[in-house]
Structure 1
């Protein structure tokens, strides 16, 4: 017997309604009413024509799906138990621009610091920064032109902002490198323990930092710069090209020096604590001392409809978030900052970049 191609196929109404209930999570009388009005009932009170559903009810299905997607975007509620006491947090929508706590008036100038990272290529600068940002070690080497990272902290009821500038691409551009040095508050110099030339470059960069800061402050004997030096790749089995005694003799005993391994993390925590101490930041800014949360959770928990929430309403434990949209300020902005600082210390001369 041949089957008529135009024969109508019927499905139970309850099955269609169950599909809507599974999508919405509730029994919505409005959806049920619209569905029954838009679809013609077949002979028998319990069946519905598929052909009619495809024309009238698919619009309803699309509307329900669209509303569900909006709800998912607007009501994501991650629970950060260690930071908020199991309080549900609404993250609303992703940020459209980077978060600058100083520009937003959410912290003080003394709580914002820029760390400039300098050193020869292939010494592990990027992987050391990844350790600080709470990310994994990257085996494959890719030359870095310039990296800029921003990490936002909340410790003890106060907000802190730490900008990290990896100025690797400025190695062959002295004027740009000098500008980065002048805008830096603290410096991380990295060399490889198996590469003598990389250590010699660190010595040159240290002298550049001292000269630039002396020029900026118009002082022949400025305070010693805030510098931390890392002799990286301590995990390698090859003979070391630089001994600790040589480092102390060349850099001086007042420069903080650490033998580190970005691969297994040895020594990096101590170097980060030294950076925090030199920058005047709390010890909780070290990676092992705080909980890492998403930027959405950080904003939702710290920034309310009336602005910055007080410490009593914020996190209980130290927390931090990495801003994925952070970008280095323009060279024009950095130059203005340097000229302003130079004028503050010396009313008759301007700081020379070159």
Structure 2
């Protein structure tokens, strides 16, 4: 798909669908989308096409495969197969340690000073044997007050890491609500008679602050479904993080080598050099590099990602997405 191509779609229909997924009233147009026809119908051919496109992709994932092209952006390296591209969406209340968990995944050190994260996006590229993989990490902290954007992240996410703090009961309640929102979205889109498999890993962080703990293991066990993996972690000490990262790999159908301890971290220059070499695939040890030039695809790009061919609907109401 040409990343510079423009599509016209009905803002009312698409945004109504996003807000319906979570059962919330429509808050109005999302940032970056200008509604030019206030009388446009809430459900159009384009919105219906979006539903069918996402249904097909999630049905494929629930059968054990990755969503084909589910997280590929316009900037994705040509060497990475669409089925080897995955997006991990990190959600949770502020101050629970999401950023430090992402830093650990990227091979960086724990940062003691807290700074509120508006939004963070990282891309890690892997070479495992003859295959290359792309893992995008979206820390969607800034989407708490934007339900439509949060639901778009849910639609475009392949794997979800939900984080709460063991010393903050409200943060645990927020994770339970997020888990329910993800479950409802997938069930409605797939029209499942029973709850679908959830590609979710939940972390109770700050296990090192045992004296301040207010969320008990029994509460967690009662609130979470049996098919949801749960870990008590400490981003500061590194407790259980390796198990979390390996579980993310299993949940998303990624190789074990994507866990930080299973590969060596190299620069992008070295990574490109290794990918360009010919020879026996099994000779090279797994390696990875963090792409410093990666930027999160725009709101419009994510919409185009899930719209697919439905953007060609006959005479849709016009709302231009650049």
Aligned to 1:318: 286
Aligned to 1:245: 218
Tell me if 1:106 matches 2:79: yes
Query: Offset at 1:141?
Result: 0.3
Q: How many residues align?
A: 240
Say whether the 8 Å CA contact 1:149–1:163 is kept in structure 2. yes
What is the TM-score when the length of structure 2 is the normalising length? 0.70
Tell me which of 158, 162, 179 is aligned to 1:185: 158
Closer/same/farther in 2, CA of residues 211 and 260 from structure 1, 3 Å limit: same
SS of residue matched to 1:238: helix
Alpha-carbon separation, structure 1, partners of 2:237 and 2:206: 9
Closer/same/farther in 2, CA of residues 220 and 342 from structure 1, 3 Å limit: farther
Say whether the 8 Å CA contact 2:73–2:297 is kept in structure 1. no
Aligned to 1:137: 110
Say whether the 8 Å CA contact 2:161–2:200 is kept in structure 1. yes
Tell me if 1:162 matches 2:130: no
Tell me which of 312, 318, 327 is aligned to 2:295: 327
- Rg larger for: 1
Query: Offset at 1:236?
Result: 1.1
Aligned to 2:238: 265
SS of residue matched to 1:263: coil
Closer/same/farther in 2, CA of residues 275 and 158 from structure 1, 3 Å limit: same
Query: Offset at 1:213?
Result: 1.9
Query: Offset at 1:215?
Result: 3.1
Tell me if 1:283 matches 2:251: no
Alpha-carbon separation, structure 1, partners of 2:83 and 2:278: 18
Structure 1 residues 15-94: aligned runs within 5 Å:
none
Say whether the 8 Å CA contact 2:249–2:256 is kept in structure 1. yes
Alpha-carbon separation, structure 2, partners of 1:207 and 1:342: 28
Say whether the 8 Å CA contact 1:131–1:137 is kept in structure 2. yes
After superposition, the CA RMSD in angstroms is 2.2
Say whether the 8 Å CA contact 1:114–1:162 is kept in structure 2. yes
Say whether the 8 Å CA contact 1:216–1:342 is kept in structure 2. no
Aligned to 2:205: 232
Closer/same/farther in 2, CA of residues 144 and 160 from structure 1, 3 Å limit: same
What is the TM-score when the length of structure 1 is the normalising length? 0.64
Closer/same/farther in 2, CA of residues 104 and 130 from structure 1, 3 Å limit: closer
* Runs of 4+, deviation exceeding 4 Å: 99-103
Higher relative contact order (CA 8 A, sep 6+): 2
Say whether the 8 Å CA contact 2:129–2:281 is kept in structure 1. no
Q: Deviations over 1:282-327 (max 9, x none)?
A: 1111111100001111012213xxxxx5562686111000011110
Aligned to 1:118: 91
Closer/same/farther in 2, CA of residues 195 and 241 from structure 1, 3 Å limit: same
Tell me which of 124, 128, 136 is aligned to 1:151: 124
SS of residue matched to 2:214: coil
Alpha-carbon separation, structure 2, partners of 1:223 and 1:311: 42
SS of residue matched to 2:162: strand
Aligned to 1:337: 305
